[in-house]
Structure 1
Amino acid sequence: MSFQLDTGICQRINSATPNEDELFGHSHTLQVLSLKKVGKQQENTNLPSDRYRIVLSDGAHFLQAMLATQLNDMVVEEHLKRYTVVCVERLSCNYVQEKRLIIIMALRILGQEDKKIGEPVPIDTNTTHSEAPTPAPEKPLRQPTAQSTSNSNASTPSASRPPQRGNWHPIEGLSPYQNNWTIKARVTQKSELKSYSNARGEGKVFNVTFMDETGEIRATAFNAIADNLYPKLEEGKVYYVSKGKVNLAKKKFSNVQNDFEITLEAKSEIEECLETSNLPMIKYSFVTLQELQDLPKDSTCDVIGILKDYGDVSEITSRATSRTMKKRELTLVDKSGFSVRLTLWGNQAENFSPDEQNPVIAFKGVKVGDYGGRSLGMVASATMTQNPDIPESHALRGWYDSAGSESTFQSHSNANGSFTGSGGAGFNRAELKPLLEMKLEANRIPDSDEKPVYFSTRATVMHIRSENIAYPACETCNKKVVEEGDSWRCDKCDKILSRPTYRYIMSFAVSDHTGQAWFHGFNDVGNTLFGKSANEITEIKDSDDAQYNLILAKACCKSYNFLLRAKRDSYNDNNRIRYGVSRILPLNYKEENEAC
């Protein structure tokens, strides 16, 4: 098959100015003469991604360009190689350190030739780079020095000095080796303005995510610069951004898919752009709620679902910092038939209000957890959008209104598939295992595996250890307190208590028709078994042994449904499986009968 190349187009591209949108957005048939990797991805993920230099020919001349990273797969999978004929559908022309840079943004493969078409020659025969000459163009027009230096602080530049249309840099082309760049990008996420304190002192910080058609990048501002820029940047709006410092990205603080990030400085310039065409709002890569079980803990993902239910704002105390945090839990469902619990934190939890009953909500960059089964949590870089105008949202809305509202949904477990919420959160009668089968499965947990495995079972309490049935705890943090004379001291909270609050810590034997096992439980378990608080039981234990033993005896010979958390641990140099009770549920005989 013979191909007709667009003769003369290389010269036109080489001499074009950056704002010739018609030329750069039009399709051109060209041939690949060579491909060369100019950056190598190492195991260290802080290093930049592979970049490919491509030489294109129109049959008469050839020119050099860079291949956009989203097209790398074509090279890796060898669809794009030497002598491939392509239809270049979109180009970008930028200046990097006053040198022209052509970037191939989109192309389509037409076919493969065995040899070079025509006898292409360099556009500029005087250049020293014979492989792919790129003569330096005239420098873009600049405003007088007085105007360009009139704004030394990070702020909106003068309206008389807007960046030239088309003369901006693609986000994916940013690197620490460039100083003079301007990006045109939409703010897709903006964090809260937070205060921090460390060994170097106190300060303020916030970050935003900028996105254009080539990719996204995270930008951070500190202290006075953060105070100045925070009210000027709004989610959803488009800005010209320049004169920031490009550094290697700190991956542990961001889930943005870019090897670099921007630090906004005092000299940084930001101007709102009213021409917002061809810039995406947010790029999603959704996974279904069912697919969450295949994702590793602490990874991030994008999900979209129907808000089935949401709780009130509550407060918890962080174990790491002892600070009080506000949280709110949402329940999401989707067409996969699964539900998941998603946690909002801080101001987002307090200010959350659904736009309508059961809205569609899209989340970008939420964190995957495994507490009590698969769960999701918002992080600083995550975004939440109600009823987004995207095809996935419209499809989900139609499904829920027509049939989904009457469906039942499964929640996730770390093992054994999924567990429905019938009869209690996390327990599923369909997954009941006899004690012997459960123990055989648990014994197959590798010694090196630190992840728990969850089981549902039904068993009868046969014996409760009477020693150390409760411990003295701090009423604030629930940690064990130490008696000092007539008072009690909490080392964690660093305070003195007049009396402790007792909490259950129990070991008890259970059995069924296949065998016996020892379970371990905490406060909720004791409250269910005895119907009394640990304070009451401790008082009876200290004052009346006979009544205490009678209470223990009455708690035995009763059957319960259990959700168990099985995990390997070591005790006195013995490796064993420990069965912790995550849920204990008294039998509901009506539900048990209906389940038969």
Structure 2
Amino acid sequence: MEVRGPRAAMPTEEGRYGRLWARTGTKVCSFWLEGRCTRNPCRFLHVELPPPRNNNIACRHPVVKPKSGGGASNGKGSKGKDGFKPEERLCQHWVSGISCVKGDKCEFRHSWSRGEGFSLLAKLDGHDKGIAGIAFPSGLDKLYTGSNDGMVKIWDCHTGQCSDTVNVGSEVGCLISEGPWVFAGLRNVIKAWNVENGAVFDLQFSSGLVFSMVVDNNMLFAGCQPCFGEDELIPRQQFHFQPISDIEGLESNSIVDVIGVVCFISPASSIMRKNGTETLKRTLRLKDESGRSVELTMWRSFCNAGGQRLQTLCDSGHSPVLAVKSGRISEFNGKAIGTISSTQLTIDPDIEEARRLKEWFDREGKDGPTVSISREVSTISRTDVRKTISQIKDEKLGTSEKPDWIAVCATIMYIKNDNFCYMGCPIMIGDRQCNKKVTNNGMGSIDVIAVIDVLMNAITGTFSSFRYRTILG
């Protein structure tokens, strides 16, 4: 028969956890607080902590462990794992709004700012979304804030309270102030308020939401980004094209818009102007569905980027479409078009006229006959005719006063080895160089062998430099 002793009485709740108090401290079981702790006994408390003896809650500051090899540290001046000193960290009770019993003697910061001379004056709560801009008009004790929630709020700088709210009806992209003016960048509009006289203006446009603004020299500059689907509202270049056949009836110096396929382009060349200065020139030929072609002369900067791109496309076998905006008509050797400072050239524009012209050229215009309206003394148009060398001799072409325009296809059999250039005189006559022929005297200097008339005097000289000039035959 088994005999058992009397079962010891179960300790009370206070006695059971009283023994664990010293071992677990004041830590309450988080699972017990959620009602799902399965341990019995549990090494953590299953009771609520009693309230503190005083009404204020002491700061829960981290315990600073003593450094190895030395005595305990008081925590002042020592950095924690986050690399900050205690005086650089925020007091957790101050942040949560609970008064700290240490007050000004707390080793943790009771301020949002770390710099000297800065302190939090007020916390402005009121916007539902992010702040897009803050404006502080000069001579006013009001602060303006704009938010993505479509509201512009006015705050009293003395009390920190919102004194007025303006519903602008759209998210605010930016907000600035200049003198008594406050500008709010919205979608497709900029609102302007004058805080002195109460004037309100709306600057309407169609370019999307304004993200930045700046005022300089009494002018307001705004930067915006078009939203999806709004790029169609941006104005595009407008053309008023005229067929090449109609250019024959236009007067000289008229301004015209023309579009055509580039069927020929010449390399850029340097020519001497009447005033003695040099300039770049490039010539190309345009043809369109009217069966006519016209010569376009590109001057100065038009020969560089745009002209080189056209040259590259033509050399690779492509025939690009060129739209000319504001070209000037000339009547030198027939009707031609030249570029001026306001001319705009667009290569392969994304417009219906260019697509239709390209389809016509690929279908029939590439090999079809073309009548040129350029390089003619009279207004009668001409057709380029291909001739052989024997026909040129038999028909005595080029011997009359009127030039004969022909096309020749031949093979180069021999190139004459004469000089293609000569050494030019470096003397400056006014604003241009003389460029007369000089010769080397064999002593490291150059002799001028041409006579230069300056003030009716024949001048020769010896120089140590020259400039090569190209001979064109």
**Shared topology, TM-score over 0.5?**
no
Higher RCO (CA 8 Å, separation ≥ 6 residues):
1
Greater helix share, 1 or 2? 1
The structure with the largest alpha-carbon Rg is 2
TM-score normalised per structure 2 = 0.39
TM-score normalised per structure 1 = 0.32
Greater strand share, 1 or 2? 1
